[in-house]
């Protein structure tokens, strides 16, 4: 038998990932969760909701005042979104790489936005752009008791 060390308990970086209304309408929730799961990231938060305008505006506060802001809030509040929190080593940066560029047409093949989208205002998915943004966004979308604390049995087969 092989003895495998168990060193992953320190890996607690989290990212806020959200399937936007276009992704939900198009039935892409499962595909998106699958990509993060198969990479080895741990799902610790998951809920479906139609965001209020207040929540959407707070989420995109950095874009308040830009020409596309009203349409962005209209879009995000137009239907259900799936709010997700994934945890694991470098999940913020790696999540952004998996998601691709803001403009799907400028995004490399293999990224979520390139594989599923065309227009910037219909780019399927949100992912936190820094660890600080992730902490702000997770606190905005989830209560602490909505995030699960557990250790997947596969952890020692994902991290050395």
Q: Which of 14, 42, 59, 126 binds ligand IDP (CB under 6 A)?
A: 126
- Exposed (0-12), middle (13-18) or buried (19+): which is 152, by Cβ within 10 Å? middle
Q: Which is nearer to ligand IDP, 4 or 70 (CB)?
A: 70
* Segment 60 to 79, residues that bind ligand IDP, using CB under 6 A: 68, 72
Do 6 and 155 contact (CB within 8 A), yes or no?
A: yes
| Residue 103 is labelled as binding a ligand | no
Q: Which of 52, 102, 130, 151 binds ligand IDP (CB under 6 A)?
A: 102
Do 84 and 142 contact (CB within 8 A), yes or no?
A: no
Q: How many residues bind ligand IDP (CB under 6 A)?
A: 8
Instruction: Give the C-alpha separation, 40 to 90, whole Å.
Output: 11
| Residue 93 is labelled as binding a ligand | no
Q: Which is nearer to ligand IDP, 115 or 129 (CB)?
A: 129
């Amino acid at each position: 038998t092989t003895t495998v060390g168990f060193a992953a308990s320190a890996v607690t970086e989290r990212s806020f990932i959200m399937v936007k209304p276009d992704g939900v309408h198009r039935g892409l929730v499962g595909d998106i969760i699958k990509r993060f799961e198969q990479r080895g990231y741990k799902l610790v938060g998951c809920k479906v909701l139609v965001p209020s305008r207040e929540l959407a505006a707070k989420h995109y506060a950095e874009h308040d005042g830009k020409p596309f802001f009203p349409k962005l809030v209209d879009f995000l509040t137009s239907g259900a979104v799936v709010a997700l929190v994934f945890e694991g080593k470098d999940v913020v940066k790696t999540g952004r790489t998996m998601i691709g560029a803001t403009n799907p047409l400028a995004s490399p093949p293999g990224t979520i936005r390139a594989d599923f989208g065309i227009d910037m205002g219909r780019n399927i998915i949100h992912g936190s752009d820094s660890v600080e943004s992730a902490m702000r966004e997770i606190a905005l979308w989830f209560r602490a008791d909505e995030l699960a604390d557990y250790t997947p049995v596969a952890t020692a087969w994902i991290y050395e």
